[in-house]
Amino acid sequence: MKYLYSTLLLIIISFSANAQLNKGLKQIGGSVSISHSTSENDNSGISNSFTDQTTNAFSITPSIGYFIKDNVSLNLSLGYSYSNSESERIDEDEVSEYSYTTNNLSITISSRLHKSITDQFYLFLQPGASLNLRKYKDYSDDNDKNTAYSLGIRPGILYMANDRFAFEGTFGFLGYTYSESEPLDDSQSTSTSNNNNFRLDLSSITLDFGFRYYFK
């Protein structure tokens, strides 16, 4: 872990060189994703097993930013995501339907420290703080909400297609997260809980793709 901290510090210090994205430059952008997945399991003869499952998900995250100095920007992002999963379950001779719905709203304040690799490619580190508000509802009408705060850093890569338009990707997270869940009604199946941890997350859920438009 000490080696990881030292590596990140050296990268941040080196970001003061090779200024290409100039002070005063503005940017708008974000990411949009839509997904649909289905799974079919031939468990018709097995009691208490799930057979078919369908999941639909959607997310949108607009972002604005301003370069306070060469290669260093401040950014504000707002995000919304929705997912719904429906499945069937065999219970003896009956087939029951189950549904799970999640709505998530987030706000992130971050900085970006860019390092040019070529005229078109940049690496960047993105330290930032986020607030996430999630509401969850399941098939039995149990509702709960989750509030999460995170402070950490994400690495990424930027490709400049031209002087104004760029594509980007981020992967991974290193930082601290605190979350708290509580029921929205008098449900007995959910209870208030909280969790805090410092983690290095390299799972696929941290992979994001987006775009940026730059202007004066």
Higher pLDDT, 191 or 17: 191
CATH number for the domain spanning 60: value is 2.40.160.20
Return the number of other C-beta atoms located less than 10 Å from residue 33's C-beta. 13
Distance CA 18, CA 118 (A): 10
Number of domains in the chain: 1
pLDDT, tens digit, 9 for 90 and up, residues 106-151: 999 999 999 999 889 999 999 999 999 998 887 666 677 889 999 9
pLDDT digits (tens, 9 = 90+) for 24-50: 999 999 988 888 888 766 555 555 555
- What are the distances in angstroms from CA 4 to CA 1, 8, 154? 5, 6, 13
pTM of the predicted protein model: 0.74
Structural domain including 17 reads 2-215
91 vs 181: CA distance, rounded Å: 30
